[in-house]
Chains A and B, each alone.
Chain A
Amino acid sequence: AQSVTQLGSHVSVSEGALVLLRCNYSSSVPPYLFWYVQYPNQGLQLLLKYTSAATLVKGINGFEAEFKKSETSFHLTKPSAHMSDAAEYFCAVSRGYSSASKIIFGSGTRLSIRP
């Protein structure tokens, strides 16, 4: 079975500060990992994904994440937060090798940016 745990339901940082959103996964097979962002009353937008290639993955809007198998982690970072980064962020895992693969979502982390 696969699962995802996001540590911290709410993270608040100052504008210009480092953003770090934590995600740990559990999977019995090599996982595919994703970070999605959701703005209020909108669907999900893919930020980045890990699919067993490079362990450091760069995504849109300056975000990146590093896959660490030894720590079963896939934390999301951004060097300098912008006000527009305020949103809900979801980490997700799938098996990925089948077009019918289900995605399991974490509980989400709400990111707030202080002026």
Chain B
Amino acid sequence: GAVVSQHPSWVICKSGTSVKIECRSLDFQATTMFWYRQFPKQSLMLMATSNEGSKATYEQGVEKDKFLINHASLTLSTLTVTSAHPEDSSFYICSAFYGLDQETQYFGPGTRLLVL
């Protein structure tokens, strides 16, 4: 099956710093990737749709200047949390469509961010 990886799996940073999270599709190309955030004991909330070679599409209420998304290649999308604050602490998960199966999203293992 499709495998999506994320790096790092967890990160702790100081308030005011920027953190980059990578999402990679392993052995397949992903023209579209999605970024979600999940607060403890809550569901996943879509943050943005990442399109290879073009600007990301952000959901309403998500600050595009704070959550920078770059989809520079068909196997890599990055999410940069700029000037992170404690309220940005969350579990960030990416997903991608796999090959001809454009019906199902395959999810990465997630990145836990803790901002002190």
Interface residues of A (CB under 8 A from B): 32, 34, 36, 41-46, 49, 51, 90, 94, 96, 98-100, 102-103, 105-108
Contact = CB atoms under 8 A, between A and B. Distances in A.
Contacts of B31: 99
Given A41-B112, A44-B93, A100-B32, A90 B104 contact: no
State the main secondary structure of chain B at its contact with A. Answer: strand
B46 interface: yes
Interface of B: 4, 6, 31-32, 34, 42-44, 46, 49, 51, 91, 93, 95, 97, 102-110, 112
Contacts of A106: 43
Across the A-B interface, the 4 shortest Cβ-Cβ residue pairs: A43-B107, A44-B107, A99-B102, A43-B109
Given A44-B93, A105-B44, A96 B107 contact: no
A94 B95 CA distance: 14
State the main secondary structure of chain A at its contact with B. Answer: loop
Contacts, number: 50
Contacts of A42: 109-110
Contacts of B103: 32, 49, 51, 94, 96
A43 B108 contact: yes
A106 B45 CA distance: 10
A46 B110 contact: no
A103 B109 CA distance: 17
B41 to A, nearest CB: 8
B42 A107 contact: yes
Given A100-B32, A105-B43, A46 B49 contact: no
Given A42-B109, A49-B103, A99 B44 contact: no
A55 B42 CA distance: 29
A82 B102 CA distance: 32
Contacts of B109: 42-43
B63 to A, nearest CB: 19
B42 A102 contact: no
28 contacts: A32-B103, A34-B104, A41-B110, A43-B4, A43-B6, A43-B110, A44-B44, A44-B93, A44-B95, A45-B107, A90-B43, A94-B103, A98-B102, A99-B32, A99-B102, A100-B32, A100-B49, A100-B51, A102-B34, A102-B49, A103-B34, A103-B46, A103-B105, A105-B43, A105-B44, A106-B43, A108-B42, A108-B43
